[in-house]
Structure formats: structure tokens, C-alpha cells
Amino acid sequence: MTWIRPLAAHAERPCTLVVCRGCCCGDPRKNPGSDHAGQLARLREAAAASGGRLAVRTSDCLGPCAQANVIVVQPTTEARRRGARAAWFGWALDDTATDEIIAWAESGGPGTTPVPPTLDLHRIDPPAPKPAANSARRSRRGR
């Protein structure tokens, strides 16, 4: 029997920027004065220039639509092992916010470098986890 290991199963993950591009984030109708496509292009350019220390991906709606544009900065694998958790930022609508997120992520991001005070003003709480679909049925059975 041949064992097949998934690609990158043990790869170290870089600091990753998850850019919401769901129902409200990136929508020029909600925030018409922002260059949403330009923001995503700048984030991707920073990742390409980072030599693998930074990654960018987009996501469908992350939840806090009233705080669009939302960007989540996920820690590196090593920082996560040390207890670091993702940092959520909202209202990332201008070049200054984008620059600060890029600079912080390039310097290591969560668990590595403290959040700069001006970037901390953009910090938001992640949405509450949704209850499991089976949790209501299980609790009734347990009675």
C-alpha cells in the first residue's frame, strides 16, 4: 500500500491576511469613496514582495458587515504554536489603514509584534461562533 501525504501538510504557514470580499466588504455601493480593487492589489503586491513571509487570500462574508472592510491577520504557524490568535480589523477603507496592516504583518503580525496604537483603533471583535446544527437536538435528548 502506498501512503499519500497531502501537499504542504507540514509546511509552515506565513502570516496570512484574509480579506473579506463578501456582501459588504469591497462593495463600492456601501463605501463609494474607497478603492477596493486597489486595496486588494496592494495587499497582493506586498505578499508577492515578501519572499513567502506573507500571504493574502480572499473570503466570502466574515460577518461584521457594519465594520466593512474587514481584514483578518492570521499568525504564522510558529506564532500560533506559542498561543497567538488572529487579529480582526474593521473599517480598513483607506491607504493609511492598508499601509498599517501591511507593515504590521510584514513585521511578524500576531504573537510577534505588538499592534501599533493607530492600527489598534481599527481592531474589532470577531463574530460569535455559531452553535452547532445538532446542538439543539442533543440538548433535548440529554434531558
Per residue in 46-101, pLDDT (tens digit) is 999 999 999 999 999 999 999 999 999 999 999 999 999 999 999 999 999 999 99
Examine residue 103 and state whether it is found in any structural domain, yes or no. yes
Phi-psi region of 109 (alpha: psi -120 to 50; beta: other; left: phi over 0): left
**Contact yes or no for 69/25 (Cβ under 8 A):** yes
Examine residue 137 and state whether it is found in any structural domain, yes or no. no
Cell representation of residue 4 = 499519500
Count of H-run helices and E-run strands, the chain: 5, 4
Examine residue 3 and state whether it is found in any structural domain, yes or no. no
Put simply, whether the predicted model's pTM sits higher than 0.85 gets the answer no
Range of the domain at 64: 25-126
